[in-house]
Amino acid sequence: MTDLRDVTLRDGLQLTGKPLPTARKVAVVRELLDAGVPSVEIGSMARPDLVPPLADTLDLIRALDPDELARCWVWVATPRHVERAAEAGAVNFQYCLSASDAHNRANIGRSTEDSLAAMPRAVAAASAAGGRIQLCIATSFTCPFEGAVPEERVLAIARDPRAEGARDIVLCDTLGQAVPTQVTSLVARVAAEMPPRRIVYHGHDTWGLGVANTLAALAAGASEVDGALGGLGGCPFAPGASGNASTEDLLFALRPSWLTPSSFARIVRLSGALLDELGEPNRSRAAQGARTSATAFPWALGAEVSCR
């Protein structure tokens, strides 16, 4: 079974020029969950002055009920991040560090080694809150400052005993520069050589291979994938990174058991309205295809779908 996590409200909003009100974020979370999306990443504990669109993450957590929060994830990078998010009600934490030291310093303000050294305390904080934590490895394939990242570097982080306690491992093509053969190789090695964990693949579509790389990751052993509505997204600390693999494109390609033409239409309409509000282009090819008037195709929505 393949799970999809929508990361629009975290990775997707990082580079947007317009802020999204907290109440609107709550409505988006509920619409995605009600449509059947298994889980949603709702925000980040990064410094508000560095990532202003995510400054209201704690308010968003507080606005959701426990059943909703059980399906929501929060980006964290320190033990204190975990503690503060848990105090607000969060139970799922994505502890992120970078395989490349230069990106870790740009993104988090410390070395990769320092981030790894702090992880046992983050794991303990998540456990004390009755929650679960993932190890998220950014720049698993390439770094904007150091170039290609050796597989052995990623594997060394994944097998580091200080990362024990992480339920899942997230492999990130932060810049969207990987190709399917690279994704296949790394995911397969993590699946074969590391302690048993769920593998999550987080891809960007910078070079047009977001869906192809995601399919390669699933074939190699990943069981969950990330996407953002309309291909929104990017990293403010990774020059050259563009949007995430599109949630709509991934859903149309994967056809998970919960997805129906009706729920797909609902998600496409939500995406179109949200991107219009933000003044952002819709990069989803599936959302564009859904505008066809060829109504004999069950996945077609008709020309009324907003898709910029």
Distance of CA 11 to the CA centre of its chain: 6
**Alpha-carbon distances of 209 from 90, 146, 204, 215, 298, rounded to whole Å:** 33, 22, 8, 10, 26
The two three-digit tokens of residue 233, written as one number: 């997204």
Do the Cβ atoms of 18 and 277 come closer than 8 Å?
yes
For the chain, the residue count is: 308
- Tokens 């020309």 correspond to what residue? 303
235 is catalytic: yes
147-148 and 142-143 beta bridge pairing:
antiparallel
Rounded Cα distance between 100 and 217, Å, is 21
Do the Cβ atoms of 272 and 287 come closer than 8 Å?
yes
Q: C-alpha dihedral over 108, 29, 37, 260, to 10 degrees?
A: -140
Q: Which of the residues 72, 136, 143, 235 is marked catalytic?
A: 235
Catalytic residues: 235
